[in-house]
A and B are shown apart, each in its own frame.
Chain A
Amino acid sequence: MTHARNLTFAHLWVAFIAFTIALVLGVWQMWARSPLPAPFLTASTYFSSVTAHGTATAYVLTTFMVMGFGYYVAETALARPLPAPRWAWIAFALGVAGTLMAVVTILTGRAAVLFTFYPPLIASVFYYLGLVLVVAASWIWCVLMLIAMGQWKRANPGRPVPLAMFATVANAVMWLWTTVGVAAELLFQVIPAALGLKAEMDVGLSRTLFSWTLYAIVYFWLIPSYIAFYTMVPQAAGGRLYSDTMGRLTFVLFLLYSLPVGLHHLLMDPQQSNAFKFLQVALTALVSVPTLLTVFTIGASLEIAGRLRGGRGLFGWIAALPWERPMVLATGLAFLMLGLGGFGGLINMSYGMNAMVHNTSWVTAHFHLIFGGTVVIMYFAIAYAIWPTLTGRAAPSLALQRLQLWLWFIGMLVMTLPWHTLGLLGQWRRVATFNYADPIIAAWGPWVIVSLIGGVILLASGLLFVYNLLEFNVAREPNAEAPGALYATAVHPPARVPATLNGFRLWNALVLVLMVLAYGYPLAQFFIIKSPEALVHRVDERR
C-alpha cells in the first residue's frame, strides 16, 4: 500500500465519526417521539436533528465509506499505487469542507428540510452548497477509480480486472449516472431558489428529478458490502467464490436496474401516470434478481467452506462454518436482515400495495433494517478486516468484535420490528411529538418504547465499534497478513473474461436506453403540461 493507507484511514474516520453522532441524534429522536418526556425538544430542534441524522447517515457515512474503501481496493486488489493521490486528498478536503458547511447550517436551525429536501421548502443555500461539495468530492473519486482501472488494464492486456475493482468501478459509473437527478434539481431549481433568484418552482419536476437519485443511491451505499460478500467473505470462511463470472454479472445488473426505477418512491404522487409507475415497478422487480442471485452465489461459496470443514447433509454445512470469525458472523447476520428487509421492500414496491404503507413507520423500518442493518453491519466487518493491514497490528479482541456485531443485529431487530407493526397500524412519519391522549395513538406507545430500547442498544453497539477500532492503536501483536490475502479466489479463476464483463461501454449505452425509456416522458411531461409553480417557502428565517 502506497497512498491508500492514509486516505482510507482519513475517509473511514470521518464516516464513523459522522455515524456516531447520527446514532446519538437518532436515539434522542426516538425518545422525543415516545410517551417519555425528552429534553431539548421543540419542533425546530427535532426537525434539525432529523435533517442532521439523515445527512450524516445518507450522505456522509456512506460517501466517505465508499471513497475510502475504494482507494483501499484500488491499491490492494490491483497491487499498484493509486494514480494522482493529490487529487484524492483534494477530494477529501472538499468533502470535509462541504460536510462542515452543511452541518453548521443545520445546527443553526437554518436547514430543517430533511435530507430529502422537500421543495418548495427551501433552506439556507449553504446547506445545499455543502452537499454539492460532498458530491463533487465523490465525482473526483469516480474519475480516479476509472483511471486506476484503465491504467491496470493497459499494463495487463487481456487479463480480467480483479472482481473487487470491477465492482468498485461499476459503483463509480453508477454513481455518476445517479447524481444527475439531484444535481439537476439543485442546480436548476433549489439553489436558485435558495439564492433568492427564483420565487417559484415546479415541485412535480423537482420530486421526479430527486427520485432519479433516491433509489440508485442506495446501491451506491450497498455495493461495498456486496464487494465484501463476493471478494472477502469466501476467503474469511475458508472457501472459494462459487462463480467469479456471476459476481461480475451481479454488479452489471445493479448498474442497469438500480437507476430506471426511482418512480417507485413516487407511487402515491398525483403528478405521474399509472403507466410509468407500473413500468418502473416492473423494473424494480428485476433489480431484486441480482440480490436473489447473490444469496445463492454467496450461499454456495459458504457451502464450499462449510463442507471443507466437515459439514454434511443439506444444511449441516451452515453449523460447520467458522462463525467465530467476525466477517463470517457479520455475513450471517446480514443475510438474516436482508431477508426481513427485502420482504419489506417487496411490499413497498408492489404498486397499489404501496398505499398500505407509504409514509408510515413501515418505510422507516424497511430502510433502517436493510441499510442500517444489512449494509452497515458489513461496513463494520470490512473495517475489522482491513484495520490490521492499515494499522500493522493484529486485532486485539475478536470477542469484542463479535459482541459488537451481535448487539447491532439485536438492536436493529428490536428497533425495526415494532416499526413494521406501527406502520400497518397507521403511524405516520416525521413527527416530533405524538398526541398520546388520542386512544388510537395511545395504543402505539408501548411499541414505540420497545423500539427506543432497540435504538439504545444500537448506540451501545456503535460506541463499541469505535472502541474496537481505537483498541488497535494499543494492540501489541503485529499483523502477519498482507492485504492481498483478504481476497477470495474463485472455484475457477478466469484466465479471460469477455470485454462486456471487463468494462462498461455496452452497459453505459444500455443505461442510457433504459433511462430514456423510464424517465424520458416522466420528466418531459413537466415541460409539456406546464404545471403551475408553487411559491418558495424559506425555512431559514432567523427567530
Chain B
Amino acid sequence: MAIAEEGIVRSELRWAAISIGVVSVIMLAIIYAGLVHHINPPSNIETIDPKTLHLTGEFTEPNLGTRVAADGQITSRIVATQFTFVPRCIVLPANRPVTLRFATPDVIHGILVTGTNVNTMIVPGYVSQVHTVFTRTGDLLMPCHEYCGLGHSEMSATVRVVPPGDFKPDSQGGVSCDAR
C-alpha cells in the first residue's frame, strides 16, 4: 500500500501541529491585548446585598450618576432594576480614565455601550465594574442586553460622552445630564 497507517497518522499529527500553531497565534494576540492594551473581562468579584443596596452604602439614590472624587477619580454609579436604569442618563468625559459601577437589587441584567468594548453582566449579589477611556464624543446607547423579564425590551440608558472641557462637576463633584 502506497501509504501505511503510520504515514496517515503522521500526516494527521502534522496537521494537528499546524492547527495548534494557528490557535496559539490567537491566544498570543489575546494575551497581548490583555497585558499591553489593558483589555480584560470585568471580573472584580465584589459582593453586595441586593436586598439593602438602596438603603445604605454606595448605591443609594443620591449617590448615583457621575461623581468626581476629591482625588480626581471619575466614577459613574448606576443601578439596574426591572425595568430601568437609575439614572437613565450619565455624563462622562472623553479621553479620561473613567469607572462605571453597576449593581442590581433584583434579577440579572447586563449592559453594553454601543461602539465601545464596555460590556458587562449585572448579577444580583455582585458589583460590576468597568474601567475605560471613551475616545469619541456623543450620545451612546446603553441598553440592558440580558433578559430580565417582560419589560426587558424597553430598558435602556444613555451615556453622554462630552469633550473634557465641557465636563464640569458641581459643588459636590456630581455631573448629570439635566444640568445643561
Contact = CB atoms under 8 A, between A and B. Distances in A.
Do A's and B's CB atoms come within 8 Å in the complex? yes
Nearest to A205: B125
B149 interface: yes
B153 interface: yes
A426 B141 CA distance: 9
Nearest to B118: A355
B47 A531 contact: yes
Contact of A285 (B26, B51, B150): B26
A277 interface: yes
Contacts of A118: 107-108, 146-148
Contact of A297 (B12, B106, B108): B12
A270 interface: yes
A354 B110 CA distance: 14
A440 B125 CA distance: 33
A355 B111 CA distance: 10
Interface stretch (B32-40, B63-71, B91-99, B163-171): B32-40
Contacts of B82: 537
Given A245-B5, A272-B43, A352-B33, A359 B110 contact: yes
A356 B118 CA distance: 8
Contact of B119 (A204, A285, A288, A355): A355
B28 to A, nearest CB: 11
Interface residues of B, number: 66
Contact of A537 (B46, B49, B117, B149): B149
A518 to B, nearest CB: 16
A270 B128 contact: yes
A270 B8 contact: no
Contacts of B4: 492
Interface stretch (A387-395, A408-416, A428-436): A428-436
B41 A277 contact: yes
A64 interface: no
A286 interface: yes
Nearest to A350: B30
Contact of A243 (B12, B50, B108, B120): B12
A359 B122 CA distance: 12
A107 interface: no
A346 B26 contact: yes
B30 A268 contact: no
A358 B82 CA distance: 21
B153 A281 contact: no
A120 B41 contact: no
A268 B120 contact: yes
B104 to A, nearest CB: 8
Interface in A516-535: 525, 529, 531-535
B55 interface: no
Contact of A289 (B20, B108, B110, B141): B20
Contacts of B147: 47, 114, 118, 429-430
A256 to B, nearest CB: 14
Contacts of A534: 50, 106-107, 124-125
A277 B43 contact: yes
Nearest to A207: B123
Nearest to A525: B45
A360 B145 contact: yes
A5 to B, nearest CB: 36
Contacts of B122: 270
Nearest to B141: A440
Contacts of A87: none
A202 interface: yes
B41 A267 contact: yes
A243 B117 contact: no
Contacts of A267: 41
A243 B149 contact: no
Contacts of B19: 288-289, 292-293
A508 interface: no
Interface string B125-151: 111110000000000010111111111
A186 B4 CA distance: 51
Contacts of A47: 147, 150, 152
A191 to B, nearest CB: 18
B179 interface: no
B42 interface: yes
Interface string A327-364: 00000000000000000001000111111101110000
Interface string A39-50: 000011011000
Given A243-B8, A534-B107, A350 B126 contact: no
B57 to A, nearest CB: 12
Contact of A271 (B115, B118, B126, B141): B126
B56 interface: no
A465 to B, nearest CB: 30
Contact of A270 (B3, B12, B30, B46): B46
A148 B177 CA distance: 68
Contacts of B8: 242-243, 245-246, 491-492
Interface centre among A204, A270, A351 (most CB of B within 10 A): A270
Interface string B5-41: 1001101100110011011001101100110000111
A286 B23 CA distance: 8
A271 B45 contact: yes
Interface string A98-116: 0000000000000010100
B5 A203 contact: no
Contacts of B172: none
A356 B149 contact: no
A204 B125 CA distance: 8
A428 B110 CA distance: 10
A356 B15 contact: no
A267 B41 CA distance: 6
B162 interface: no
20 contacts: A43-B150, A118-B108, A119-B108, A120-B107, A121-B149, A207-B123, A246-B12, A268-B121, A270-B128, A272-B43, A292-B22, A351-B30, A352-B33, A352-B39, A355-B41, A355-B42, A359-B119, A428-B144, A432-B153, A532-B49
The 6 closest A-B pairs by CB, nearest first: A426-B114, A534-B124, A428-B145, A359-B145, A352-B39, A292-B19
Interface of A: 43-44, 46-47, 112, 114, 118-121, 202-204, 207, 242-243, 245-246, 266-274, 277-278, 281-282, 285-286, 288-289, 292-293, 296-297, 300, 346, 350-356, 358-360, 425-426, 428-434, 438, 440-441, 491-492, 494, 525, 529, 531-535, 537, 539
Given A245-B5, A351-B30, A535-B124, 5 more contacts: A43-B150, A270-B120, A429-B146, A430-B147, A440-B114
